Amino acid sequence: MATASAPTVFKNYIDGAWTAARGGKAIEDRNPANRDELIGMFPASTADDIRDAIASAQAAFKKWRLVPAPKRAEIMFRAAEILLERKEDYARDMTREMGKVLPETRGDVQEAIDMTYLMAGEGRRQFGHVAPSELPSKFAMAVRAPVGVAGMITPWNFPMAIPAWKVMPALVCGNTIVLKPAEDTPLSTYNLVQALEEAGVPAGVLNVVFGDGPQAGAPILDDPAVDLISFTGSTEVGRIVSQACAPSFKRCHLEMGGKNIIVVMDDANLDLAVDGAIWGGFGTTGQRCTAASRVAVHKKVYHEFVERFAAQAKKLKVGDGLDPANEMGPCVNEQQLNTVMKYVAIGKEEGAKLATGGHRLETGSHARGWFHEPTVFVDCDPKMRICQEEIFGPVVAIIPFGSFNEAIDIANGVTYGLSASIYTRDVNNAFRAQRDLETGIVYVNAPTIGAETHLPFGGTKNTGNGHREAGLAALDFYSEWKTVYVDYSDRLQRAQIDNAE
């Protein structure tokens, strides 16, 4: 492919220095809206590079864990200020390499800013607790302690926000890090790491190695010097990560897939519900783990909703995310586009009715990108594959239902449990839904996307393994509870034995 000028060559960040990969090989970072644009060349790291990064993190942990948490937090506050100052530049970089429209990439960077400020505040708020002892002249308390070296593997759809979700709580708790971002979107993670470096993160505390999963990700999982793993990606890969961590009992956090639903009741504000379903289904080209790829609509308003939703989806302008006229960008790469087209074919074969879309866009301004039309299937059976399996693209399946209980059964009838939404004016149904939906996140009169950084993020069933990102819940994963007893009685006290007398 033709390139106007020599591409920028990037390096790994190991032990406080930007370092070339030992093997000398590189991976192209290209614009999914225009494959002719080569954004840069990033290292194709191998196990040798990973070992260097882990050794650096392991050595740095000895000093970093002793830095007072408020001092660690001051570095993060400076990083947040740098991110805020460069928000527009970083957003434009992200649109070029990931494809989503500029308002969304601004939101991605803002989420990293929010998380960084949040965790900077937690540097003075890593509260433990004090409890009365059952024995006299004895003091009892529980405090947080860092875990050690954290290995992190992050996806391409939120290439700055998700690394920030992991990096910031890990750092403020006193851990050191080896981060492997997705090979499709390395520049955004590079920008995040550069901001942290400039803010004063000491050498070795934060290391980033670029490359693909088998060559650069797997060695992080297998190394006994890595104390915990945080992974965001597909359920299939998450299972591999879990199995790799199990033999050594390595602490493991998995944030995986979703097949999220919006339930539209017959008393819903349809204008609001249609707008929410459009944003939930086609925001980020449907490439979100929280995307609303299913919409269940009460039969009393079904036909009106379908007509309005399909018409609005058809009007969405698809193209280069840097063009302010466009509302939806490309799929991230050819593989993802092929997956979308495969599921469109499956939907047709299953007998779902195609209301709009269904085709790749490949002429004119779309000729050099991985574009697909916003696609809407209607009259779907909830057991169809397009209603059960994660597509990760701009495809929405609409399902009719006749009662609240039927809607809940449809919503819960998948293997995932990340996010769900209900549109209703009935407060009783709103509260029943938040109680009965088997998901980690529930929205009322809002779409399935829109998580805020100060609240826990994560799901149930095949979406996660019980841990949560963001909010105070993140501190629980990146720290260990240590219980401390101080006996100042100057005599032997045998806990329950003496206490029973």
| Active site residue ranges | 255, 289
Q: Are 261 and 183 in contact (CB under 8 A)?
A: no
The C-alpha R_g of the chain, in whole angstroms, comes to 24
Q: Which of 66, 54, 376 is nearest to 216 (CA)?
A: 54
- Listed in sequence order, the DSSP H helices in 200-297 are 218-222, 235-245, 270-282
Q: How far apart (Å, rounded) are the C-alpha atoms in residues 56 and 19?
A: 13
Six token digits for residue 261: 């639903």
Burial class for 373, CB neighbours closer than 10 Å (0-12, 13-18, 19+): buried
Q: Are strands 294-298 and 261-264 parallel, antiparallel or unpaired?
A: parallel
| Residue keyed to tokens 């029973």 | 500
Q: What is the DSSP letter of 499?
A: H
Q: Which of 252, 210, 246 is nearest to 229 (CA)?
A: 252
DSSP readout, 98-133?
Answer: H---HHHHHHHHHHHHHHHHHHHHHTT----EEEE-
Six token digits for residue 18: 């930007």
| Residue keyed to tokens 């289904």 | 281
Q: Which of 466, 156, 126 is nearest to 332 (CA)?
A: 156
Q: Which of 410, 413, 408, 390 is nearest to 398 (CA)?
A: 410
Six token digits for residue 379: 């009259």
Q: How far apart (Å, rounded) are the C-alpha atoms in residues 311 and 304?
A: 11
**Termini Cα distance of the chain:** 83
Which residues have CB under 8 Å from 108's CB, separation 6+?
A: 91, 94, 100, 158, 159, 160, 161, 188
Q: Which amino acid is at 232?
A: T
Q: How far apart (Å, rounded) are the C-alpha atoms in residues 315 and 317?
A: 6
